[in-house]
Amino acid sequence: DIQMTQSPSSLSASVGDRVTITCRASQSISSYLNWYQQKPGKAPKLLIYAASSLQSGVPSRFSGSGSGTDFTLTISSLQPEDFATYYCQQSYSTPRITFGQGTRLEIK
């Protein structure tokens, strides 16, 4: 199975900060990488698909980049509603999809 490793596992930031979360695949996955946001007690919500495409309705402060094994999710200016846990997901080996372990974004 393809292993996905996110870093950091958690981070603290303030409203207005620029934040970057990294996801690394154990082998090249081209751009078959998606990002999800999950708030406590809620289902995950799609933010970015195919590494860099913004899902409809998602604010433009979210962006994704990368290809091969290294990917990033960037939030350009944190808003209060962005404090959540973020997961990357590889679909290279679909349907045997795997997720990163998650990055918890907390208020500083």
Partner 1 sequence: QVQLVQSGAEVKKPGASVKVSCKASGYTFTSYYMHWVRQAPGQGLEWMGIINPSGGSTSYAQKFQGRVTMTRDTSTSTVYMELSSLRSEDTAVYYCARDIEYSSSWSLYNWFDPWGQGTLVTVSS
Residue numbers of the site for partner 1 (CB under 8 A)?
A: 30-32, 34, 36, 43-46, 49-50, 55, 87, 89, 91, 94-102
In the complex, minimum distance from the CB of residue 72 to partner 1, in angstroms, rounded to a whole number: 18
Do the beta carbons of residue 62 and residue 75 sit within 8 Å?
A: yes
In the complex, minimum distance from the CB of residue 23 to partner 1, in angstroms, rounded to a whole number: 13
33's tokens? 């990488």
Distances (CA, A) of 21 to 6, 93, 95, 96: 7, 22, 25, 23
In the complex, minimum distance from the CB of residue 12 to partner 1, in angstroms, rounded to a whole number: 18
In the complex, minimum distance from the CB of residue 49 to partner 1, in angstroms, rounded to a whole number: 4
Residue closer to partner 1 (CB basis): 44 or 66: 44
Distances (CA, A) of 25 to 44, 71, 85, 88: 20, 8, 19, 10
Residue closer to partner 1 (CB basis): 18 or 96: 96
CA 16 to CA 12: how far, in whole Å?
12
Residue closer to partner 1 (CB basis): 11 or 17: 11
